[in-house]
Amino acid sequence: MRPLLRWMTLLLAVLLTAAACQPSPASPPPSPTAAAPAPPSAASPTPGAAAPIRIGAPFNLTGGMASIDVPAANGARLAAEEINATGGVLGHPLELLIRDTKTDPATAANVVTQLIEQDKVVAVIGFNDSDYVLAAGPICQRAGVPFITVGATSPRLPGQVGDMLFLAPFGDNVQAAVGAEFAFEKFGKTAYLLWDKGAEYTTVLAKYFKARFTELGGTIVLEDTYQSGDKDFSAQIAKVKALPQQPAFYYIAALPDDVGTIVKQFRNAGIAGPIVGGDGYDTPLLIEVAGPAAESVFFTTHSLLTADSPNERVRKFVAAYKQKYGTEPEAVFAALGYDSVYMLAEAIRRAGSTNGRAIQQALENLRDFHGVTGVINYSPQSHIPQKGVTVIEAKGGKFTLAAERVPQKVPAP
Amino acid sequence: MRMSLAHRRWVWALRALLALALLGAGGAVARWGGAYLQRLVILFLINLMLVVSLNLFTGLTGVFSLGHVGFMALGAYTSAILTLPPALKAVNLPDLPAPLSNVTLPFLPALVAGGLVATAVAFLIGIPVLRLSGHFVAVATLGFLIIVRVVLINAEAFTRGTRTFTGVPPATTLGWAALWALLNLYVAMRVKGSALGLQIRAARDDPWGAQGVGVALGRVRLVAFLISAFFTGVAGGLWAHFLTAFSPNAFYFSKTFEIVVMMIVGGMGSISGSVLGTLLVMGSTELLRNLEPGISIGSITLGPLYGLSQIGLAILLMLLIAFRRQGLLGDREWGLEPIAERLGAWWEGRRAERVSLRVRKADP
């Protein structure tokens, strides 16, 4: 055993030395001029080929968030390649540094620190959940690096992180308001509300829905909760069945993994009324798991990504995605990742520099930006875009467009 | 007698040298190391505390605890609630009961309070749980972990439920982390070598025999459990003030697994093994993670390999289980004493040689 121990120690020593050297693989060592946040024109190590503008793209490519973070990263990569094919930004190609943060907030914070400090990224895009945004955001804020979150929808994020943070999607209060208004007009004044206590997103979504729906004059006849990962909803269903009169519709705030199961069990129990939800329903799992039971399910989301969409941008995006990855976008977050990179490129172009503050100012003044997920407007007061919400209906085993709306009134975050 | 004095001198010289080296390394990292390196070192020190504390209980008593991350969560939430400024409390935790809602403690008392809360809870669950033995303790402590999670999710007034707890002041510096980690190491070493430690280990190796010579099995185990819970709670507090934002998901199976792996790699029951295990696991994961985006060797480029660090860790574990099941060090320690002994012997040898040379020169 002794020689083995020695061998292991040797291995450890080698590993540590290598770790101490901190290789930055597949990238040239940053030139001293590139270290300063100067306009990239000042920093071209080789004449002829312009130095790339580096953008950090941390995503949870492995672990529990992978099912939506991988499409988001794919969408971002597609956008960067398209931009580079048409000449890049300010004459420089974009270099997207996609990093895996393993669904672990501590890794997320380390990776973002490394991206800023060692890779000298000019901006960061990434993450679809507030846990990771809140771990990494303050680091970007302190370093003065703009950060666009691809899919985290909590409307309180900019207040919690600071003025360097921008949201690519709408806030949950916006989609909950649209859900409430749409259902109030279309289905009626009574609702059943069920939400998942195990996640921030569903908790917040239910809260905003309730606020807007009761403000409109609706009544919640019954409110109930469950825990993500529950597989049996018979207790909740029994309470619904015991109601003297069924509500006009059922608002269920659920995570993508649970959506199909819930819908199926509700329908099997004979509850046939419309079910309404948020962008957690935007997953192929809804129809795969619930099958024909998914009829008359309505949900609010960022965009309807189909190859035959009336929107030309969506059609082009879906076709390009399919050509590159061999499948249609797995989740709407692919489009948000795509839009995030285009938005950032546009801001760098308008700022005319890669200085963090200049990009942040340009993003704040970004108006009428047409993306796949709608028209994006930021303002110094609001780093959450005021964009339209798409309402989708599951019909005949397919997602179809039910409405595109802007809320009349949004609950305060 | 003279021999042992010289020996002790050597040990002290080595200790001083080690302390100087550590101080120098710490100073160099703080002074010249970038933010990334500092983060890694702080995270290493916090993980080290978690591993050493777990090892202090599991390694010495031989009963497996899968609930230590629960103590970490208690320490994290307690200290974070205590240091959160009142203005932020009004926004983030509007339903916090009165005495807590306007109390703001400095960092150190809050950390200690976190550790104490963990200790108190460990006392309560330790009394029933430590009556069990073997795998039953593992299952019972796992149950504790699940209970902690459910409580954290439902005590919304204190923890914001599943929503991210944010706004914690970033108070964990390299100095704080190093101080606590050293204290933890020192206490662990002392406990292992003390009469209590010997009793605990005797109870592990031969419970009947130990009880036969008067070791109170439950009580000595409980003491180890309490010390271990205290430092785990403090480590949780350091972690909370390091990351500044976290949710109950952070304190669950994946963190448990991470710590258990580090402990097993180093060797159950070995404090220096814990240092080695943490260093090896964190070093190799971080190194492999840096290779994930793609490697180019000459003209060959290996494309992005996301998940490489997890695969690497798995291979490391398999090799270890195949070739060295007791971990790198088993339950032995890498102490300074054997080195001191060897140095002393070498010195004595040289002196003897010189003396004999002088004698020979004088002889003709």
Q: What is the pLDDT of residues B106-125, one digit of tens each?
A: 999 999 999 999 999 999 99
CA A269 to chain centre: 33
Nearest chain A residue to B284 by CA distance is A15
Q: Is B122 part of any domain?
A: yes
Confidence (pTM): 0.83
pLDDT value, residue A3: 55
pLDDT digits (tens, 9 = 90+) for B234-263: 999 999 999 999 989 889 998 999 999 999
Last residue of a domain, one of B248, B280, B295: B248
The answer to whether residue B338 sits within a structural domain is no
Which residues of chain A are within 8 Å of residue B323 when distances are taken between CB atoms?
Answer: 4
* CA B52 to mean position of chain CA atoms: 3
Interface test with B, best of A11, A102, A157, A226 (most B CBs within 10 A): A102
Instruction: Please tell me the predicted confidence (pLDDT) of residue B170.
Output: 92
- Say yes or no for a CB contact (<8 Å) between B35 and A117: yes
CB interface of B with A, residues 262-301, below 8 Å: 276, 279-280, 283-284, 286-287, 289-296, 301
User: Considering only residues 218 to 247 of chain B, which have any Cβ-Cβ distance to chain A shorter than 8 Å?
Assistant: 239, 243-247
Query: Do B144 and B129 fall into the same domain?
Result: yes
Please give the residue range of the domain that contains residue B191: 34-248
Q: Which of B36, B241, B301 would you mutate first to test chain A, the one with the most A CBs within 10 A?
A: B36
In a shared domain, residues B204 and B319:
no
Residue B275 lies in a domain: yes
For B226, other C-beta atoms within 10 Å of its C-beta total 16
Q: Locate all alpha helices (DSSP H) within A22-129, ordered by sequence.
A: 32-35, 66-85, 105-117
- For residues B63-86, average pLDDT: 95
A130 vs B contacts (CB less than 8 Å): 163-164
Asked if pLDDT for residue A346 goes beyond 90, the answer is yes
Task: Give the residue with greater pLDDT, A223 vs A130.
Answer: A223
* Alpha-carbon span A266 to A48, nearest angstrom: 64
B361 located within any domain? no
Name A154's Cβ contacts closer than 8 Å, sequence gap at least 6: A130, A171, A172, A200, A201, A204
Residue after which a domain boundary falls, among B248, B279, B308: B248
Q: Give tens-digit pLDDT for A226-246.
A: 987 788 999 999 999 999 999
**From A48-52, B125-129, B167-171, B207-211, the region with the lowest mean pLDDT:** A48-52
CA-CA distance, B310 to B257, in Å (whole number)? 12
- pLDDT for B263 equals 93
Residues B98 and B211 in one domain: yes
- Phi and psi at residue A351, in whole multiples of 5°? -70, -25
Determine, for residues B323 and A200 on separate chains, whether the beta-carbon distance falls below 8 Å: no
Candidate from B153, B276, B287 with C-beta closest to A198: B153
Q: Are residues B232 and B173 in the same domain?
A: yes
B286 and B176 share a domain?
no
Higher-confidence residue of B152 and B348: namely B152
Which of chain B's residues have a Cβ under 8 Å away from the Cβ of A28? Answer: none
Would the pLDDT of A1 be above 90? no
- Would you call A160 and B309 a contact, using CB atoms and an 8 Å cutoff? no
Per CB-CB distance under 8 Å, the chain B contacts of A99 are 292-293
In a domain, B349, yes or no: no
The whole-angstrom separation of Cα B328 and Cα B266 is 5
Task: In whole angstroms, give the CA distance from residue B338 to residue B269.
Answer: 19
Same structural domain, B74 and B186: yes
**Together in a domain, B244 and B284:** no
Same domain, B194 and B303: no
Pick B294's closest partner by Cβ from A25, A105, A113. A25
Range of weakest confidence among A178-192, B29-43, B45-59, B138-152: B29-43
Q: Is B170 on the interface with A (CB under 8 A)?
A: yes
Among A62, A160, A198, the residue with its CB nearest the CB of B162 is A198
Q: Indicate if B236 and B276 belong to the same structural domain.
A: no
Residue A333 Cα, gap to closest chain B Cα (Å): 19
Q: State yes or no: pLDDT of B208 exceeds 60.
A: yes
Cα–Cα distance measured from residue B112 to residue A343, given in angstroms and rounded to the nearest whole number: 47
B208 Cα to chain A: minimum distance (Å): 31
pLDDT on residue A307: 86
Report yes or no on B339 lying in a domain: no
The full DSSP string for A112-143 is: HHHHHHTS--SEEEE-SSHHHHHHHHHHHHHH
CB distance B363 to B301 below 8 Å: no
Residues 6+ apart with CB under 8 A from B94: none
Q: Please indicate, yes or no, whether residues B290 and B169 belong to a single structural domain of this protein.
A: no
In this structure, the answer to whether residues B197 and B299 fall within a common structural domain is no
Nearest chain B alpha carbon to A109: B243
For residue A44, pLDDT over 60 is answered with no
Confidence of residue B331 (pLDDT cuts 50, 70, 90): confident
Does a structural domain hold residue B165?
A: yes
Are residue B174 and residue B293 in the same domain, yes or no?
A: no
Q: How many beta-carbon pairs under 8 angstroms link A with B? A: 119
Domain count of chain B? 2
Tell me which chain A residues have a C-beta less than 8 angstroms from the C-beta of B153: 197-198, 227
**CA angle (B337, B338, B343) in 5-degree steps:** 95
User: What is the distance between the alpha carbons of residues A336 and A76, in angstroms, rounded to a whole number?
Assistant: 8
In order of A338, B51, B170, B171, the CA distances from B48 in angstroms are 40, 5, 20, 19
Question: What pLDDT score does A188 carry?
Answer: 94
Q: CA-to-CA distance for B196 and B187, rounded, in angstroms?
A: 12
Segment A188-195 mean pLDDT: 95
The beta-carbon neighbor of B328 closest among A5, A105, A204 is A5
Q: Please, what is the average pLDDT of chain A?
A: 87
Task: Specify if B140 maps to a domain.
Answer: yes
Say which of A102, A118, A200 has its CB closest to residue B36. A118
Domain termination site, one of B215, B248, B281: B248
Q: Say what the ipTM of the complex is.
A: 0.83
